[in-house]
Structure 1
Amino acid sequence: MAVITIRPSVEKDAGALLQLARLTAEEGFGLASPQEFSTTADTIKKRIATAQSFSGESCMLTAEAGETIAGQLSFFRSPEEKYRHHGSFSMSLFPEWRGRGAGQQLMKSFLAWADTAEGLEKITLEVLAGNESARSLYRKFGFIEEGRLLRHVKFRGRYEDLLLMARLKERNGFSPPRV
């Protein structure tokens, strides 16, 4: 098995992360459908710069094996005072890296980072109900289902429920004790 390294995303990752975002849209996992996809490498570079400049407010991590990017995780908090105690993340992996530990490594690194983010008490995410492998990973890391939006996503003529999942910070932080 390849050694997977997790590190903060950097500008040179933008090309591979754009390719991953486009693939994610084509698979139906992203917010945009393939024909609506408009993200550019410059957009991704700006997101990376934002994550780098707002320490504790946002986080972008890249998973790589050698010189190959396996996936990424992005987390952003709202600037509004009422919502600053929580933030949302998204994660995506190239298909050849799914089920090989990259997602688990991203989650471990992200939760360790989240433990140090001042005032962060809750982490949320959205996942398609049919994405059982992602749901299983999130449950393994202590995320619970908070809600289900019925027939919320329509892609290629099929409806799918969208699940809202969250994890609250415990006394010992977000980092899972057994994973």
Structure 2
Amino acid sequence: MSEASPAVTLRAIRIDDAAGLAEMHSQPRFRWGTLRPRYPSVDTVRKWLETRSPDDPYIVAELDGRIIGDAVLNLGKGRRAHTASIGMGVHDDFAGRGIGTALMAALIDTADNWLDLRRLELTVWTDNAPAQALYRKFGFVEEGVLRAYAYRDGAYVDALAMARLRGIG
């Protein structure tokens, strides 16, 4: 399937993934790289899964029944229907093993070959070099720095706005 491992499965998210997602989202490195709050409860994650937009493609990476990564395309609406913003993360125990690459490849395939999206966008911390390298590998380029974008580890941190355009200039 990918560089990750032949045993890794990518599939659509399910409501019964709440416990696995809560566990993964509680990991220190996972949280450090995202805007997610600390210690999400299984009930909070389940409620979020029950009320999220069913139109947004949301996938998980699974290994031996364990959630080890997740990724979503948050689809634009109206005059931004040609766009999607990306959110993704990998479980701390599986970072650097190709899971992010497999998830991003699946999102790009969905965006390009199923939804005809023309602009994919994301934000990434300016000090998260591994994530930036992954995004650049898939054609994302920096569009600007968002100063004091969010509060993390007791300080305000900057983020890069990155995007990938397809078929438009």
Q: TM-score, normalised by structure 2?
A: 0.83
Relative to 1, partners in 2 of residues 1:118 and 1:92: Cα closer, same or farther, differing over 3 Å? Answer: closer
In structure 2, what is the equivalent of residue 106 of structure 1? Answer: 103
Single out whichever of 86-95 and 23-32 deviates more from structure 2: 23-32
Distance 1:62 1:122 in 2: 22
Q: Which among 62, 65, 68 is matched to residue 64 of structure 1?
A: 62
- For 1:160-171, list aligned pairs within 5 A: 160-170=157-167
User: Taking structure 1 as reference, are residues 122 and 24 closer, same or farther at Cα in structure 2, changes over 3 Å only?
Assistant: farther
Maintained 8 Å contact 1:63/1:102: yes
Partner of 2:45: 40
Query: SS of the residue aligned with 2:27?
Result: helix
Q: Does the residue aligned with 1:40 lie in a helix, a strand or coil?
A: helix
Equivalence for 2:10: 6
- Once the 2 structures are TM-superposed, how far is the Cα of residue 140 of structure 1 from its aligned partner? 0.6
Q: Which runs of 5+ in 2 are unaligned?
A: none
Give, in whole Å, the separation in 1 of the partners of 2:15 and 2:133. Answer: 31
Shift of residue 95, structure 1, vs aligned partner:
0.5
How far the C-alpha of 1:150 sits from its partner, in A, is 1.9
2:140 equivalent to 1:122? no
Q: How far apart are residue 41 of structure 1 and its match?
A: 1.8
One-letter code aligned to 1:16: G
Q: TM-score, normalised by structure 1?
A: 0.79
Residue 94 of structure 1 pairs with residue 96 of structure 2 = no
Q: Report the Cα distance in structure 2 between the residues aligned to 1:45 and 1:85, rounded to whole angstroms.
A: 26
2:149/2:158 contact within 8 Å kept: yes
CA distance in 2 between counterparts of 1:26 and 1:72 reads 11
In the alignment, which of 77, 82, 90 is matched to residue 79 of structure 2? Answer: 82
| Unaligned runs of at least 5 residues, structure 1 | 172-179
Q: In the TM superposition, what whole-angstrom CA distance separates every residue of 1:101-142 from its partner, at most 9, and x where no partner exists?
A: 111110111111111344521000011111111111000111
C-alpha distance in structure 2 between counterparts of 1:33 and 1:18, whole Å: 11
Identity, in percent, stands at 30
Give the aligned length.
Answer: 162
